[in-house]
Amino acid sequence: MSKVLDLIQQETNRQANTIRLIASENYASPEILTALGSSLTNKYSEGYPQHRYYEGQEFIDQIELIAIENAKKLFKSKFANVQAYSGSPANLAVYLALLQPGDTILGLALSSGGHLTHGHKVSISGKWLNSISYGLTTDGYINYDQIEKLAQEHKPKLIISGHSAYPRQVDFKRIGEIAKSIGAYHLADISHISGLVATGLHPHPFPYADIITTTTHKILRGPRGALILTNDPELAQKVDKAVFPGLQGGPHNNNIAGIAIALEYDLKPEYTDYCKQVITNAKALSKAMQNRDFEIVSGGTENHLLLVDLRNKNIDGDTLSKALNKVNIETNKNTIPFDTASPFKPNGIRLGTPAVTTLGLKEQDMETISEFISQVVNNIDNQSQLEKIKTQVIEFISKFKY
């Protein structure tokens, strides 16, 4: 047996014995894993349904059409492209569709909770485009006045809303109005909150955004992949051309099948219950952390994640996330607004509830998790105590199965 199969089994076991709080992660269902490991990976299908460059597409076409229909239904969108390999290529496809090299874009700074592909200087979005960034107010909310000012000053061709580490609702209407006032496009990258948008638990970017992108492997509980959505037929054509042949070759048919299955389940009423519980759990975790004297950025959360400001605990996010990992609690270090520390040793950690909610954890379990985190902070250099906490964590989380 390949060593790799053994490592896959070890990773499966690790996930089963870990409290997974990384806000962008989740569990794909066994049906989706079957689709990912299926014969579909053997097939090349450049093009789109009914317009392919290779023969043998009778089943592949049907699968892609189901994924498209499910995406359109879930997000009440007229057009959907399901072929982008993941979120970063999806955003790149939108830039290729709408912009020329050197054009100006305006997005949330990475250090304020944005994403690399929203114009960070190390990403192609910041290298080949002229990228301007907006930030947050001192209390941790998006600074809409600053967006307006920067938009007037720099006249970007595209304004990006959306985030990777922002615990509050986004005012897509306000950003859309700013974009409209200067004739800019508005791209809403809702990768983190797409499930909340689809189920009506967060305001929808349409009709205030021209294009929406979202990954499919976060709160949507699908396989890795992305959707690009629009209601504008001209933009839809441009996006399709940008994805293929502009950026990609053959689509990953096995992933598209997994996306079709995931979205089918996301359309069921139970998925709305799941998303409601994700928010309830995030709020409960935030409260439980506050009760243990942790500072929460912006004082709480309205979505699936929270940012913990660790400055009053005299510990940095890198040290704490590594210590938590030792006791099988998986988080990531994160900058907090106006962080003066380096991103390698920032002053915060990010906690998210989509994965633990999939396992069935409820509000009272958030108390338990916050107590584990608090104990780790209090015993950061005490190896034997950390070992004891790890045993308790495994005993607690291994009872929950998906």
218 is an active site residue? yes
Catalytic choice (224, 287, 292, 390): 224
Q: Chain centroid to CA 27: how far?
A: 13
Q: DSSP class of residue 243?
A: I
Q: Is 112 in the site for ligand DSN (CB under 6 A)?
A: no
Residues 274/357, Cβ–Cβ less than 8 Å:
yes
Which residues in the 277-316 window bind ligand DSN by CB under 6 A?
none
H helices present in 334-362, as ranges: 354-358
Task: Count residues binding ligand DSN (CB under 6 A).
Answer: 4
Catalytic choice (44, 144, 265, 402): 44
By beta-carbon proximity to ligand DSN, the closer residue of 57 and 335 is: 335
One of 91, 125, 164, 253 touching ligand DSN (CB under 6 A): 164
- β-strand partners of 350: 307, 332
CA 213/CA 73 separation, integer angstroms? 15
- β-strand partners of 177: none
Q: Backbone dihedral region of 90: left (phi > 0), alpha (psi from -120 to 50 degrees) or beta?
A: alpha
215 is an active site residue? yes
Of all residues in this chain, which one has the CB nearest to ligand DSN in the complex?
24
By beta-carbon proximity to ligand DSN, the closer residue of 52 and 221 is: 221
Residues 86/226, Cβ–Cβ less than 8 Å:
yes
H helices present in 85-200, as ranges: 87-98, 124-127, 144-154, 172-181, 194-198
Residues 192/163, Cβ–Cβ less than 8 Å:
yes
Residues 233/259, Cβ–Cβ less than 8 Å:
no
By beta-carbon proximity to ligand DSN, the closer residue of 83 and 123 is: 123
What's the min distance (Å) between Cβ of 88 and ligand DSN? 7
What's the min distance (Å) between Cβ of 117 and ligand DSN? 8
- Sign (positive or negative) of CA dihedral 39, 42, 43, 46: positive
Residues 263/222, Cβ–Cβ less than 8 Å:
yes
189 is an active site residue? yes
By beta-carbon proximity to ligand DSN, the closer residue of 52 and 163 is: 163
What's the min distance (Å) between Cβ of 214 and ligand DSN? 11
Residues 202/53, Cβ–Cβ less than 8 Å:
no
Residues 188/211, Cβ–Cβ less than 8 Å:
yes
What's the min distance (Å) between Cβ of 87 and ligand DSN? 6
Q: Is 317 in the site for ligand DSN (CB under 6 A)?
A: no
CA 358/CA 369 separation, integer angstroms? 16
Q: Is 24 in the site for ligand DSN (CB under 6 A)?
A: yes
What's the min distance (Å) between Cβ of 115 and ligand DSN? 6
One of 87, 114, 126, 176 touching ligand DSN (CB under 6 A): 87
What's the min distance (Å) between Cβ of 89 and ligand DSN? 12
By beta-carbon proximity to ligand DSN, the closer residue of 47 and 114 is: 114
Catalytic choice (213, 215, 230, 357): 215
What's the min distance (Å) between Cβ of 120 and ligand DSN? 12
Catalytic choice (52, 218, 238, 350): 218
End-to-end CA distance of the chain: 27
- β-strand partners of 79: 230
Residue ranges in contact with ligand DSN by CB under 6 A: 24, 87, 115, 164
Q: Which residues are catalytic?
A: 44, 46, 189, 215, 218, 224
